[in-house]
Structure 1
């Protein structure tokens, strides 16, 4: 059975990552234990049908009287039709960045319980039902202020649930945040501004270059060469804008072997030469 990368398979523009996203999901036949790689935390607002999610050591089943907040990860989903001939739910995705911004704005800097549960069950009520009805992917794709509206909807449901469930929900939200950078990411991000080549960084990760590239694309959703080049050129721009250094002072430190290659790459990315920035 193929693995479904969600929400990426729902994006209209596959190359544009989104911090917040809503999708109307409909289905007319049962799907049992589909493999899902959920890359963002997600509200599942079930309206018609039944849903069961299998986690590493537990499972949870809900119907339209409940909603689920799911932690990102690899899960097995079973979606079943009820008495109706259709399965229908609203999926509301949000990134870790969006969550951190919300928590820093509205909550205390608390530590979650050691016990981590990959889901939070929400008992639907009239307010939540009205909120679900207000969510529609059409509204938030064809609107001039789509992103701003979605951000407000995200804050609305989060604040409502904080008020409804109190500390229990607040602890859960904090548990959704990654506790530490993986060893792989730690090595990569420690060498972003070094002049190491890809195969040298791969060696530090104890991987062949091909394995490293494959793993990198999975972790960062982008080829390593492009990702590193963008990071290094952005850093170069910041250094040059301070006016204290010239291109000839920094090109080696950000991974270029000669000044000419650096200048060409810089101009291709920013539309201007490094000398114009530093002057």
Structure 2
């Protein structure tokens, strides 16, 4: 699957750098785990449909009752239709420069806080709904004062959210300009029990699959496929031996998409089926 460079693919005049940009996004079919290189921080104001984003160390899912603020980086996006035959959201991009200007103007200090998560979930309310309705890419490309209006809209939503969420949101904004990068091992440890493919984990590490495999072997002295499978199966064995859970209850939780594949792998490793090990208790 090709990597989408966002917002570059939406910008018509690529010769003029844009620090703030609005795009009305529509889609009529589901997209699962598309690879996105997000070069600007972005609000995703979802109006129809569902969205899930996989990050290096976590994932988040939102619906139309929520909005999402995302840190720039390499992410996997899943965008799903809901009960209607269209997915619709408004994307509001802003550069690190505009964010730094805002923080300098309205907050006491601009020091990078340690980033905990690369996203912030916003619970929509009447004010935010009205704000979303005021955003339209048409308005901000054909208007004589488009650039000035966009800066005002950016400051408006930022100030409202600072008031709504207080220090929690302020610290998150400061973390967006932090240069901290998650270590390779943090990405791996966070995805031991995820159902992401190796290629998808490599993407979250900003590596090609071949580079990822070489780096993994240097760090763990084992190929990634074998290392991950061993840990997932060991975790499954512990769960089956220490609880009333069955194989059908846990195979998704430990990173398998298919019960049959899990059962075969489990028996190959331990010489006994998941059902039989449960019956030994």
Q: TM-score range by the shorter chain?
A: 0.5 to 0.7
Offset, 1:14: 1.6
Counterpart Cα distance in 1 of 2:8 and 2:110: 31
Partner of 1:64: 64
Q: Tell me the TM-score normalized by structure 1.
A: 0.63
Match for residue 29 of structure 1?
Answer: 29
Deviation at 1:41, TM superposition (A): 0.2
Structure-to-structure mapping, 1:207-226, within 5 angstroms: none
Q: 5+ residue gaps in structure 1?
A: 182-279
Secondary structure of 1:140 counterpart: helix
Deviation at 1:111, TM superposition (A): 4.2
TM-score w.r.t. the length of structure 2 is 0.63
- What is the distance in 1 between the residues matched to 2:104 and 2:178? 15
Taking the aligned partners of 1:180 and 1:118, their CA distance within structure 2 comes to 11
| Alpha-carbon shift at residue 16 of structure 1 (Å) | 1.7
Residue 94 (str. 1) matches residue 94 (str. 2)? yes
Q: Which runs of 5+ in 2 are unaligned?
A: 182-281
Deviation at 1:68, TM superposition (A): 0.3
Task: State the partner residue of 1:224.
Answer: none
Say whether the 8 Å CA contact 1:44–1:89 is kept in structure 2: yes
* Offset from partner CA, 1:147-189 (integer Å, 9 cap, x none): 00000000000000000000000000000004389xxxxxxxx
Measured in 2, the distance between the counterparts of 1:86 and 1:17 equals: 31
Taking the aligned partners of 1:115 and 1:5, their CA distance within structure 2 comes to 23
Are 2:56 and 1:45 aligned?
no
Match of 1:7 in 2: 7
Size of the alignment, in residue pairs? 181
Residue 117 (structure 1) shift: 1.1
Provide Cα deviations, 1:104-150, integer angstroms capped at 9, x if missing partner.
00001154543431000000000000000000000000000000000
